[in-house]
Structure 1
Amino acid sequence: MKRRNVIISLVVVIVVFLGLFTAGYAWYLKNYGGIPYYTQITTKGERISASYKQYKYDQFGYDKDGHQLRLKFTSGPVMRPLKMGAYLKVSYNQKRSQVISWEKVSKSDVPSKALTKLD
Protein backbone atom coordinates (compact mmCIF):
# COMPACT_ATOMS: atom_id res chain seq x y z
CA MET A 1 0.00 0.00 0.00
CA LYS A 2 2.83 2.38 0.85
CA ARG A 3 4.54 1.72 -2.49
CA ARG A 4 1.30 2.46 -4.33
CA ASN A 5 0.99 5.84 -2.57
CA VAL A 6 4.56 6.72 -3.53
CA ILE A 7 3.88 5.89 -7.19
CA ILE A 8 0.65 7.93 -7.19
CA SER A 9 2.44 10.87 -5.58
CA LEU A 10 5.25 10.64 -8.13
CA VAL A 11 2.77 10.59 -11.03
CA VAL A 12 0.95 13.63 -9.60
CA VAL A 13 4.23 15.54 -9.22
CA ILE A 14 5.23 14.69 -12.81
CA VAL A 15 1.84 15.75 -14.20
CA VAL A 16 1.95 19.05 -12.28
CA PHE A 17 5.53 19.70 -13.45
CA LEU A 18 4.62 18.98 -17.08
CA GLY A 19 1.56 21.24 -16.81
CA LEU A 20 3.65 24.12 -15.41
CA PHE A 21 6.33 23.59 -18.04
CA THR A 22 3.77 23.57 -20.86
CA ALA A 23 2.08 26.72 -19.55
CA GLY A 24 5.44 28.48 -19.20
CA TYR A 25 6.52 27.50 -22.69
CA ALA A 26 3.21 28.66 -24.17
CA TRP A 27 3.60 32.01 -22.37
CA TYR A 28 7.16 32.34 -23.67
CA LEU A 29 6.14 31.65 -27.27
CA LYS A 30 3.26 34.12 -27.07
CA ASN A 31 5.47 36.90 -25.69
CA TYR A 32 8.85 36.22 -27.28
CA GLY A 33 8.17 33.98 -30.26
CA GLY A 34 7.39 35.22 -33.70
CA ILE A 35 6.23 34.50 -37.21
CA PRO A 36 9.00 34.56 -39.82
CA TYR A 37 8.78 37.25 -42.48
CA TYR A 38 11.31 37.91 -45.20
CA THR A 39 12.47 41.26 -46.47
CA GLN A 40 15.26 42.77 -48.53
CA ILE A 41 17.15 45.90 -47.51
CA THR A 42 16.43 48.55 -50.15
CA THR A 43 17.26 51.74 -48.22
CA LYS A 44 20.18 52.99 -46.14
CA GLY A 45 17.98 53.32 -43.09
CA GLU A 46 17.46 56.38 -40.94
CA ARG A 47 20.08 57.07 -38.29
CA ILE A 48 18.31 57.43 -34.94
CA SER A 49 21.11 57.86 -32.42
CA ALA A 50 24.12 60.15 -32.47
CA SER A 51 26.14 58.51 -29.71
CA TYR A 52 25.24 54.89 -30.40
CA LYS A 53 24.98 54.32 -34.15
CA GLN A 54 21.67 52.67 -34.83
CA TYR A 55 19.57 52.73 -37.99
CA LYS A 56 15.79 52.45 -38.30
CA TYR A 57 14.06 50.61 -41.14
CA ASP A 58 10.40 50.76 -42.16
CA GLN A 59 9.61 48.42 -45.04
CA PHE A 60 7.42 45.56 -46.14
CA GLY A 61 8.08 41.91 -45.49
CA TYR A 62 6.39 38.73 -46.70
CA ASP A 63 5.66 35.44 -45.00
CA LYS A 64 6.16 32.03 -46.64
CA ASP A 65 2.73 32.34 -48.32
CA GLY A 66 3.44 35.80 -49.73
CA HIS A 67 1.26 37.77 -47.29
CA GLN A 68 2.55 41.31 -46.79
CA LEU A 69 3.23 43.06 -43.48
CA ARG A 70 4.80 46.43 -42.71
CA LEU A 71 7.92 45.86 -40.58
CA LYS A 72 9.62 48.46 -38.41
CA PHE A 73 12.96 47.47 -36.90
CA THR A 74 16.44 48.76 -36.11
CA SER A 75 19.91 47.62 -37.03
CA GLY A 76 20.48 46.81 -33.36
CA PRO A 77 24.05 46.26 -32.18
CA VAL A 78 25.50 46.24 -35.72
CA MET A 79 26.28 49.99 -35.40
CA ARG A 80 26.19 50.57 -39.17
CA PRO A 81 23.53 50.53 -41.88
CA LEU A 82 22.53 47.07 -43.03
CA LYS A 83 23.97 45.99 -46.36
CA MET A 84 21.93 47.08 -49.38
CA GLY A 85 20.28 44.13 -51.11
CA ALA A 86 20.69 41.82 -48.10
CA TYR A 87 17.87 39.37 -47.41
CA LEU A 88 16.62 39.18 -43.84
CA LYS A 89 14.48 36.70 -41.97
CA VAL A 90 12.54 38.78 -39.45
CA SER A 91 10.68 37.35 -36.46
CA TYR A 92 7.46 39.32 -35.91
CA ASN A 93 5.49 38.97 -32.67
CA GLN A 94 1.77 39.58 -33.18
CA LYS A 95 0.97 40.16 -29.50
CA ARG A 96 3.55 42.95 -29.25
CA SER A 97 3.06 44.10 -32.85
CA GLN A 98 6.80 44.39 -33.30
CA VAL A 99 9.88 42.76 -34.72
CA ILE A 100 11.57 40.62 -32.08
CA SER A 101 14.71 39.71 -34.01
CA TRP A 102 16.22 39.51 -37.48
CA GLU A 103 18.97 37.53 -39.15
CA LYS A 104 20.65 37.70 -42.53
CA VAL A 105 19.79 34.81 -44.87
CA SER A 106 20.82 33.90 -48.37
CA LYS A 107 18.47 34.38 -51.30
CA SER A 108 18.05 30.60 -51.60
CA ASP A 109 16.67 30.47 -48.02
CA VAL A 110 13.79 32.82 -48.84
CA PRO A 111 10.56 30.94 -49.69
CA SER A 112 9.60 31.26 -53.35
CA LYS A 113 6.30 33.11 -52.75
CA ALA A 114 8.04 35.71 -50.58
CA LEU A 115 10.93 35.99 -53.05
CA THR A 116 8.63 36.76 -55.98
CA LYS A 117 7.12 39.63 -53.97
CA LEU A 118 10.57 40.97 -53.04
CA ASP A 119 12.02 40.91 -56.56
Structure 2
Amino acid sequence: MKKAGILGLIITIIVLVPVGLGFNWYYSNYGTKTYYTQITTKGERKTGKDDSGKPYVYYHYSQPGYSDNGVKKELTFDSV
Protein backbone atom coordinates (compact mmCIF):
# COMPACT_ATOMS: atom_id res chain seq x y z
CA MET A 1 0.00 0.00 0.00
CA LYS A 2 2.87 2.37 0.77
CA LYS A 3 4.34 1.81 -2.71
CA ALA A 4 1.01 2.70 -4.35
CA GLY A 5 0.83 5.96 -2.37
CA ILE A 6 4.37 6.94 -3.35
CA LEU A 7 3.70 6.03 -6.99
CA GLY A 8 0.50 8.11 -6.93
CA LEU A 9 2.40 11.07 -5.47
CA ILE A 10 5.10 10.82 -8.14
CA ILE A 11 2.51 10.63 -10.93
CA THR A 12 0.68 13.64 -9.45
CA ILE A 13 3.89 15.66 -9.36
CA ILE A 14 4.76 14.62 -12.92
CA VAL A 15 1.35 15.86 -14.10
CA LEU A 16 1.05 19.03 -11.99
CA VAL A 17 4.52 20.49 -12.66
CA PRO A 18 4.06 20.74 -16.47
CA VAL A 19 0.52 22.07 -16.03
CA GLY A 20 1.79 24.77 -13.65
CA LEU A 21 4.66 25.67 -15.95
CA GLY A 22 2.28 25.81 -18.92
CA PHE A 23 -0.09 28.10 -17.05
CA ASN A 24 2.82 30.37 -16.05
CA TRP A 25 4.05 30.54 -19.65
CA TYR A 26 0.56 31.25 -20.99
CA TYR A 27 -0.14 33.99 -18.45
CA SER A 28 3.23 35.68 -18.99
CA ASN A 29 2.67 35.75 -22.78
CA TYR A 30 -1.08 36.32 -23.08
CA GLY A 31 -2.33 37.51 -19.69
CA THR A 32 -2.14 41.26 -20.05
CA LYS A 33 -3.88 44.35 -18.74
CA THR A 34 -5.76 46.63 -21.11
CA TYR A 35 -4.46 50.15 -21.59
CA TYR A 36 -6.05 52.89 -23.66
CA THR A 37 -4.33 55.63 -25.62
CA GLN A 38 -5.13 58.09 -28.36
CA ILE A 39 -2.63 58.64 -31.14
CA THR A 40 -2.07 62.39 -31.38
CA THR A 41 1.33 62.46 -33.12
CA LYS A 42 2.55 61.14 -36.44
CA GLY A 43 5.00 58.74 -34.82
CA GLU A 44 8.47 57.89 -36.05
CA ARG A 45 8.45 56.70 -39.67
CA LYS A 46 10.45 53.50 -40.24
CA THR A 47 10.92 51.05 -43.08
CA GLY A 48 11.29 47.30 -43.11
CA LYS A 49 11.24 44.38 -45.52
CA ASP A 50 8.81 41.49 -45.58
CA ASP A 51 9.79 37.84 -46.09
CA SER A 52 9.93 38.25 -49.86
CA GLY A 53 12.19 41.31 -49.58
CA LYS A 54 9.50 43.85 -50.47
CA PRO A 55 9.91 47.12 -48.50
CA TYR A 56 7.11 48.53 -46.37
CA VAL A 57 6.60 51.56 -44.12
CA TYR A 58 5.50 51.43 -40.49
CA TYR A 59 5.31 53.91 -37.63
CA HIS A 60 6.79 53.58 -34.14
CA TYR A 61 5.00 55.22 -31.20
CA SER A 62 6.00 55.82 -27.59
CA GLN A 63 3.32 57.57 -25.58
CA PRO A 64 1.31 57.31 -22.36
CA GLY A 65 -1.60 54.93 -21.96
CA TYR A 66 -4.12 54.60 -19.15
CA SER A 67 -5.81 51.60 -17.54
CA ASP A 68 -9.48 51.47 -16.52
CA ASN A 69 -8.43 52.75 -13.09
CA GLY A 70 -6.55 55.71 -14.57
CA VAL A 71 -3.09 54.23 -13.93
CA LYS A 72 -0.60 55.76 -16.39
CA LYS A 73 1.95 53.60 -18.23
CA GLU A 74 4.36 54.41 -21.05
CA LEU A 75 3.39 52.34 -24.10
CA THR A 76 5.66 51.50 -27.02
CA PHE A 77 4.16 49.98 -30.16
CA ASP A 78 4.36 49.85 -33.94
CA SER A 79 1.66 50.38 -36.55
CA VAL A 80 1.83 49.10 -40.10
TM-score tier after normalising by the smaller chain length: 0.5 to 0.7
- What displacement does 1:21 show? 1.3
- Residue by residue over 1:43-79, the C-alpha shift from the partner in whole angstroms, topping out at 9 and shown as x without a partner, is 232211162221111211001210111111101xxx3
Alignment-derived partner of residue 66 in structure 1:
70
The residue that corresponds to 2:51 in the other structure is none
* Structure 2 unpaired stretches of 5+: 49-54
Cα shift at 1:23: 2.3
**Paired AA for residue 15 in structure 2:** F
TM-score by length of 2: 0.65
CA RMSD of aligned residues (A): 2.5
Kindly provide the CA deviation profile for residues 52-110 of structure 1, in whole angstroms up to 9, marking residues without a partner as x.
Answer: 221111211001210111111101xxx3xxxxxxxxxxxxxxxxxxxxxxxxxxxxxxx
Letter in 1 for 2:60: K
In 1, distance between residues paired with 2:36 and 2:11?
A: 43
Percent identical pairs in the alignment equals: 38
Question: Match of 1:39, SS?
Answer: coil
Greater Rg by CA: 2
Number of equivalences: 72
Kindly provide the CA deviation profile for residues 8-45 of structure 1, in whole angstroms up to 9, marking residues without a partner as x: 63553134212221123214423x24322111222232
Structure 1 residues not aligned, in runs of 5+: 80-119
Equivalence for 1:29 = 27
Higher RCO (C-alpha under 8 Å, 6+ residues apart): 1
> Within 1, Cα distance between the matches of 2:68 and 2:12?
38
Cα distance in 2, alignment partners of residues 68 and 22 from structure 1: 31
Aligned counterpart, 2:38: 40
Give the TM-score of the pair, scaled to structure 1: 0.47
